[in-house]
Amino acid sequence: MPLGDTKRGGSVDSSIRPLSGSVPEPKSTGRIGDASNRRSAESSASGVKHAHTAERTNQQGAPAEEFGVPVPPEFAADPNKMRTEWGWRRFLVQTLNEQQTTDGAQTSAATRKEAGAAPQPANLTMTPQPSPEDVLTNTVQTLWHTLRPLLNEPSMQGQTLPAANWLPPGVLLSLSNLSEPQFKDPAVPEKVKRMAVAEKLGSAVQNPTLLITGSGFFYPPVYFENDRREAVYWEAERQPTGGQMGQPAQHLLVKINVEDKLVELHFMFTKADFSLHIRTDDASLREGLAYSQSYAHTALLKAGWEISQFSVGKLAETRGEL
């Protein structure tokens, strides 16, 4: 699954696909077993697979180090980056463990077969093979090297893009859905492509029953002919939460910039209710948004949602309120 060249001006690949099944949230696994487990190919594979022990972990529960090498701090400090790093690290380690177990069994069978064969020449040169632990260590460090520039790509929050054919009007584009033709389109900014690869890597290992994050672009409506049409960047996260009377609820938070001011839209869903709470620290925007309930009600009703609660307030009023 090539990631392509992620350097500025290079090309990127859009072939990331969700992994089969959901990857659980980070859990403690610790380090791989020691050198005593590497006396044969078969025992090495078995030792690598089963010698995980709980040692030093970070706050999210993922190993703070792997094979004795500290996890890069920029991953451990950010829950979303840590989730992406841990999901792919776990997938790669499990895949290599399974391969090493298969290889170990095949090596043992070959050794037993050769035991009854004619002796080999004394001067036969054997090519040394890297230990299973060395293979795993190199693989994980390569993963970190690949993820670092992608996950550290600065956000485009507050930025806009000029109207372009690659982003058709009326389309709410999620970066995780950026298509192969769009990756090959020179009109799509390279920064957008790098962000899309990071988004695809993250969405492939997200657990749909827990926090889901995403970002992308959309065109807001243009009311005057001379207004400049620009694509606005958005970020969103959806998380299960406890609703009223203990009912399961979903909290969808969308962040956009309006007139260079941050606006948060909080959509709260339960089986019986749907509410919208808009938050911004800009007083003039709050004043205008306070009169927008009827417009929001009409627009959402067309999409099949009827607002039961609506409010406008400051960003600080959201903390712990919803």
What local confidence, expressed as pLDDT, does residue 38 receive?
Answer: 34
In a domain, 89, yes or no: no
Query: Could you tell me if 289 and 278 are in contact, meaning their C-beta atoms sit under 8 angstroms apart?
Result: yes
| pLDDT tier, 167 (very low <50, low <70, confident <90, very high otherwise) | confident
Encode pLDDT of 26-38 as tens digits: 543 333 333 333 3
Residue 190 lies in a domain: yes
pTM for the structure as a whole: 0.68
As for how many domains the chain has, the answer is 1
Is residue 208's pLDDT more than 50? Answer: yes
> Residue 118's Cα: distance from chain center in Å?
54
**What is the residue range of 280's domain?**
160-318
**Cα-only R_g, the chain:** 26
Domain contains 122 = no
Give tens-digit pLDDT for 40-57.
333 333 333 333 333 344
Q: Is residue 229 part of a domain?
A: yes
Residue 131 confidence (pLDDT) = 78
* % of the chain surpassing 90 pLDDT: 20
The predicted pLDDT at position 78 comes to 82
Residue 284 resides in a domain:
yes
Which regions of the chain does DSSP assign to beta strands (E)?
65-66, 69-70, 160-162, 173-174, 212-218, 230-242, 248-258, 261-269, 274-279, 309-313
Residues 228-269 pLDDT 10s: 678 889 999 998 887 666 677 889 999 998 888 899 999 988
Contact (CB, 8 A) for 70 and 64: yes
| Residue scoring higher pLDDT (43 or 111) | 111
- Residue 14 confidence (pLDDT): 44
Q: Which residues contact 299 (CB under 8 A, 6 or more apart)?
A: none
Does the residue 132 lie in any domain? no
Among 76-90, 101-115, 228-242, 268-282, where is mean pLDDT lowest?
101-115
Torsion angle, alpha carbons of 99, 142, 205, 157, to 10: -170
Q: Give the DSSP letter string of 237-254.
A: EEEEEE-GGG-EEEEEEE
Is there a domain that residue 66 lies in?
A: no
Instruction: Average the pLDDT over each of 2-16, 30-44, 167-181, 190-204 and give the range with the smallest value.
Output: 30-44
CA atoms within 13 A on the CB side of 152: 14
Q: What is the pLDDT of residue 68?
A: 56
The pLDDT, as a whole number, for residue 31 is 37
Question: Residue 113 domain-assigned?
Answer: no
Give the pLDDT of residue 66: 56
Cβ atoms of 43 and 37 closer than 8 Å: yes
